[in-house]
């Protein structure tokens, strides 16, 4: 079936980016163009999610070419859920832009680049073709590199160059894996590759492709040992861009690993999962301990992303149905929590004379900002997994998966790492909102708007108090993922 709604989240932001260029002399008009485009993308993603829930995989054959001979957009329930997550955070980021005081958001190129980044992100989740996945990822990467390069942070250009170099390595891995697959099987459609690999034949290049694709997705998610670029790049980014990078963009790699283990290389999946558990544990402790010792509030949240991605990798590594449900719930909830915390941190920094987020500079800065302190406190508790917020649901779902897998040592290590998360979040909250400020500290009377982070924190509360719909969607998505024939038949027909 051809569902035109599938096109909206991908091509409406891309077309709106071109339209926004025509209004380069009117930044306010550009922002409203971006807001309307991303609102339409969000509504369309909800429509695609509902259509998936009631009717199965939604497809759109670009140019009318039947797969595997043409490009197809083929979001299943996994893609549709992650796309709703992405459109929600990206839309919140644009709402934040409306009230942001950074100089870079006033530049005529900011909104078009932000929309291009959103288009690439949405296309990566929706495409059913592995080479088109590469194209959308490159659109997302190039746009985000430029957005970080034009940041108000003086280290923005350096961070952008670092990321560009490291991301090029990830892109090289991905492109080499795609080339190996095409040379071996003569197809680039995910469903057709999965159909061929179901037969059990493993030519030499097929297993090499699996290794290269795994390295590419680990690089995109900043997983150890491909992690070292992430803190510099994310910390130097403008706040609305950082909120998207650390919460959603890193999930493209997680999405790729799910496709790798549940659709394409299912025979090699046990070995990949064992490696993911090891890398996940390393990431959890490296990220948590680095966040505990860092000197900057934004950098602390960037390091925290290492740890949170580590939890997700552990769930994928366990590989049981409950563990996969927990990993998917964790992926979505983390996006809302992390983006809200980053926006709140940006709002604090925007009130500083030098716009610094260093802990020594912002100590006590939030003592007079009551509403901001409450929102940050709720976000911190959610990230640490304290009930009744959505972070608790994430960790509970993940631990149930660990119990099903009977992986008691890993469960113990994960629970201990959760305590470290609570430590660094509460330490930071007390440092900013409870400590007596320096008498010479003079905050600006106005800072970035709190509308977007307040909406996201509200969503965290709702998904904690009423988690049933999300868990049901994740359970159904995992059930369908464990039967890859459903996806293959839906895309290829027959």
Q: What is the dihedral of CA 319, 320, 321, 322, to 10 degrees?
A: -110
The number of distinct structural domains making up the chain is 1
Q: How far are the Cα atoms of 141, 178, 309 from residue 135, in angstroms, in the given order?
A: 10, 12, 24
Domain containing residue 483 = 4-492
Q: Which residue has the tokens 């580590």?
A: 310
Contacts of 173 (CB under 8 A, 6+ apart): 212, 213, 215, 216, 219
Q: What is the C-alpha to C-alpha distance for residues 165 and 169, in angstroms, rounded to an integer?
A: 7
Q: What is the C-alpha to C-alpha distance for residues 366 and 401, in angstroms, rounded to an integer?
A: 39
Q: What is the C-alpha to C-alpha distance for residues 177 and 130, in angstroms, rounded to an integer?
A: 10
Instruction: Name 296's bridge partners.
Output: 358
Q: What is the C-alpha to C-alpha distance for residues 292 and 275, in angstroms, rounded to an integer?
A: 26
Q: Which residue has the tokens 């964790």?
A: 330
Contacts of 82 (CB under 8 A, 6+ apart): 125, 251, 255, 331, 332
* Predicted local distance difference test score (pLDDT) of residue 373: 83
* Predicted local distance difference test score (pLDDT) of residue 119: 94
Q: In tens digits, what is the pLDDT along the chain, a chain of 494 residues?
A: 688 899 999 999 999 999 999 998 888 899 999 999 999 999 999 999 999 999 888 988 887 788 878 888 989 999 999 999 999 999 999 999 998 888 888 899 999 999 999 999 999 999 989 999 999 999 998 999 899 888 888 888 888 888 888 888 888 888 999 998 888 888 888 888 888 887 666 777 888 888 888 888 888 887 877 777 777 777 788 888 888 888 888 888 899 999 988 888 888 888 889 999 999 999 889 888 888 888 888 888 888 888 888 899 999 999 889 999 999 999 999 999 999 999 998 888 888 877 777 777 777 777 777 788 889 889 888 988 888 888 899 888 889 988 988 888 888 888 888 888 888 888 888 888 887 777 666 677 677 888 999 999 999 999 999 999 999 999 999 999 988 888 888 888 76
* Predicted local distance difference test score (pLDDT) of residue 336: 93
Task: State pTM to two decimals.
Answer: 0.93
Going by their DSSP bridges, the two strands 72-73 and 60-61 should be labelled as: antiparallel
Contact 157, 207 (CB under 8 A): no
Q: Of 302, 283, 281, which is closest to residue 291 (Cα–Cα)?
A: 302
């Amino acid at each position: 079936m051809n569902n035109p709604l599938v096109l909206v989240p991908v091509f409406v932001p891309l077309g709106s980016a071109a339209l926004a260029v025509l209004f380069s002399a009117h930044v306010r008009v550009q922002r409203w163009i971006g807001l309307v485009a991303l609102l339409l993308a969000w509504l369309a993603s909800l429509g695609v999610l509902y259509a998936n829930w009631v009717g199965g995989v939604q497809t759109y054959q670009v140019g009318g070419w039947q797969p595997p001979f043409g490009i197809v957009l083929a979001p299943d329930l996994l893609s549709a859920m992650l796309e709703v997550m992405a459109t929600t955070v990206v839309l919140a980021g644009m709402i934040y832009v409306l009230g942001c005081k950074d100089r870079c958001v006033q530049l005529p190129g900011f909104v078009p680049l932000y929309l291009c980044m959103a288009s690439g992100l949405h296309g990566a989740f929706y495409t059913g073709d592995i080479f088109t996945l590469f194209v959308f990822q490159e659109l997302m990467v190039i746009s985000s590199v430029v957005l970080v390069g034009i940041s108000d942070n003086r280290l923005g250009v350096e961070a952008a160059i670092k990321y560009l170099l490291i991301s090029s390595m990830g892109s090289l891995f991905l492109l080499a894996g795609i080339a190996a697959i095409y040379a071996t099987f003569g197809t680039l459609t995910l469903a057709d590759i999965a159909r061929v690999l179901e037969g059990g034949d493993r030519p030499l290049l097929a297993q090499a492709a699996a290794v290269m694709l795994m390295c590419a997705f680990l690089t995109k998610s900043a997983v150890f040992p491909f992690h070292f670029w992430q803190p510099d790049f994310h910390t130097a980014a403008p706040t609305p861009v950082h909120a998207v990078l650390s919460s959603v963009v890193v999930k493209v790699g997680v999405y790729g690993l799910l496709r790798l283990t549940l659709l394409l290389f299912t025979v090699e999946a046990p070995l990949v999962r064992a490696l993911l558990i090891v890398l996940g544990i390393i990431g959890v402790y490296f990220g948590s301990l680095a966040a505990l010792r860092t000197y900057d509030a934004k950098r602390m949240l960037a390091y925290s992303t290492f740890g949170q991605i580590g939890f997700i990798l552990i769930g994928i590594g366990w590989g049981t149905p409950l563990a996969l449900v927990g990993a998917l719930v964790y992926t979505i909830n983390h996006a809302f929590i992390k983006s809200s915390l980053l926006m709140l941190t940006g709002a604090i920094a925007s009130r500083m004379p030098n716009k610094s987020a260093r802990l020594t500079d912002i100590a006590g800065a939030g003592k007079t900002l009551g509403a901001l302190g409450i929102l940050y406190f709720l976000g911190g508790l959610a990230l640490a997994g304290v009930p009744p917020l959505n972070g608790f649901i994430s960790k509970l779902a993940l631990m149930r998966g660990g119990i099903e897998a009977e992986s008691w040592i890993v469960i113990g290590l994960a629970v201990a790492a959760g305590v470290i998360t609570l430590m660094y979040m509460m330490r930071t909250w007390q440092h900013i909102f409870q400590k007596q400020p320096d008498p010479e500290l003079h905050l600006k009377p106005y800072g970035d708007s709190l509308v977007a982070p307040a909406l996201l924190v509200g969503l965290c509360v709702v998904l904690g108090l009423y988690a049933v719909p999300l868990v049901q969607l994740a359970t159904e998505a995992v059930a369908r993922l464990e039967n890859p024939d459903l996806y293959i038949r839906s895309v290829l027909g027959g």
